[in-house]
Amino acid sequence: MGASTKEGTAKVESRCTGPDQPARSIAKADDDCRLPRACPPALPQLDDRLGALARLEPIRDRLGLPAVAPARQTCTRSVPTPFGVRGRSSVVDGATAERVHTQLKAAIMAGAVSMHARLDIAELAGQFAVGTTPVREAAMRLWGEQLLEVHPKGGLRAVLATEARLRGLLDLNERLATAAIASAVATVDRAPSAATSVEARARAIFRTIAARTGNPALVTFIEGLSDRLAVFRTRELEIMEDADGDLNLLEAALHDATQMRRALRRYHRRRLANAPEFVWAATANSIAGGV
């Protein structure tokens, strides 16, 4: 390759990468581009062609013809999505993504999302009347919250209800609540118990126990456990006798550490004894009514 050819190629590389960046090959510049911009082809004759266009301008002016701008090649960045699909990067409407996250999370905690089938992003987008991007954003948040898990064949699904998982969550919930009682530094009002669901009452009780420690991180963690236990707690009245009675004991013992320890032990042991029934109910509901 002659000196003129190398010089022409160097000019093209400098033009595509910018004056403040080191010269790179055109292929590398295309791969790394972040904003749409001109990427001229690496041809040694480019300057000659631009010169010819400039010489034609007076003729176009005399004939009244519109000027013809040289063709521009623009490059847009493709980014990996949570489900392996590549597409143009876009800004997600925060309010829309939050709404989808809230509604999809509620459906998962109620057991209305299948634990066996992969999430159909396009179908969910149609149900929520939004694009697929907010649904993907919501799904990845729920995966981080451990309400979704990776499907064996790829994609995501609602976390599968198993006896081992339920026993582990109940054991952790009891340990944290017991530790919170021992380190309580503040008194709080009784948890609300009027005209709410069993799941909502249990959530409020354990949030109150955690809040007495004055540790916001513990409150957040306990809330996360309640989210993961919700799919089982919503079925307590179907499976257990006097499920409300356990909650009444917990509420009555909020200001007595000794009674609270006994109430916590009773609450968790009764649910551990019914673990197989909880798993069966959660799984059966997912098969029958999950999306």
pLDDT tens per residue, range 57-84? 665 565 555 555 544 444 434 334 444 4
Is 88 within a domain?
A: no
Q: Which of 16, 48, 63 is the last residue of a domain?
A: 63
Residue 202: CB atoms within 10 A of its CB come to 24
- Residues 201, 113 share a domain: no
233 is a domain residue: yes
Lowest mean pLDDT among 5-14, 76-85, 261-270, 276-285: 76-85
pLDDT at 45 over 70: no
* Per-residue pLDDT band at 188 (split at 50, 70, 90): low
pLDDT on residue 39: 46
Question: In this structure, is residue 79 part of a structural domain?
Answer: no
Q: How many domains does the chain have?
A: 3
Residue 168 has pLDDT above 90, yes or no: yes
Contacts of 41 (CB under 8 A, 6+ apart): 12, 26, 73
Q: Is residue 28 part of a domain?
A: yes
pLDDT for 26 beyond 70: no
The answer on 275 and 169 residing in a single domain is yes
Among 140, 158, 176, the domain boundary falls at 158
Residue 87: predicted pLDDT: 39
3-class secondary structure, 78: strand
Residues 58 and 152 in one domain: no
* Same-domain status, 188 and 255: yes
Angle between helices 198-211 and 243-252 (to 10 degrees): 20
- Among residues 21, 48, 63, the one where a domain terminates is 63
**Domain enclosing residue 120, as ranges:** 96-158
pLDDT of residue 71: 46
Per-residue model confidence (pLDDT) at position 47:
54
pLDDT at 10 over 60: no
Query: Same structural domain for residues 183 and 253?
Result: yes
Model confidence pLDDT, tens digit, residues 214-224: 999 999 999 99
Evaluate if residue 184 carries a pLDDT over 50: yes
Rounded percentage of the chain residues whose pLDDT exceeds 90: 49
My answer on whether 153 and 246 are in the same domain is no
pLDDT at position 193 = 52
Residue 95 has pLDDT above 80, yes or no: yes
Do 152 and 174 fall into the same domain? no
> Are both 211 and 141 inside the same structural domain?
no
268 versus 153: the higher-pLDDT residue is: 268
Contact 290, 157 (CB under 8 A): no
% of the chain beyond a pLDDT of 70: 62
Residue among 213, 218, 232, 211 at smallest CA distance from 274: 232
Residues 17 and 119 in one domain: no
Are the beta carbons of 8 and 44 closer than 8 angstroms? Answer: yes
182 or 26: which leads in pLDDT = 182
Asked if 287 and 116 count as a contact pair (C-beta separation under 8 A), the reply is yes
- pLDDT of 12: 41
pLDDT tens-digit map of 108-151 = 999 988 888 888 889 999 989 999 999 999 999 999 999 999 99
Average pLDDT over every residue of 144-165: 93
Distance from the first to the final alpha carbon of the chain:
63
Task: Answer yes or no: is 76 within a domain.
Answer: no
- For residue 243, being part of any structural domain is answered with yes
CATH no. for residue 118? 1.10.10.10
Q: What does the pLDDT read at residue 284? A: 81
Q: Is residue 222 included in any domain, yes or no?
A: yes
User: Is position 180 within any domain?
Assistant: yes
- Indicate whether 118 and 227 sit together in one domain: no
Task: Tell me the pLDDT band of 290, cut-offs 50, 70 and 90.
Answer: very low
What's the predicted TM-score (pTM) here?
A: 0.65
Q: Are residues 100 and 136 in the same domain?
A: yes
Residue written as token pair 């057991």: 111
pLDDT surpassing 90 at residue 196: no
Same-domain pairing of 174 and 256:
yes
Please report the pLDDT score of residue 267 as a whole number. 97
In the chain, beta strands by DSSP E: 78-80, 86-88, 148-150, 156-158
pLDDT at res. 43: 46
Mean pLDDT over 6-21 rounds to 45
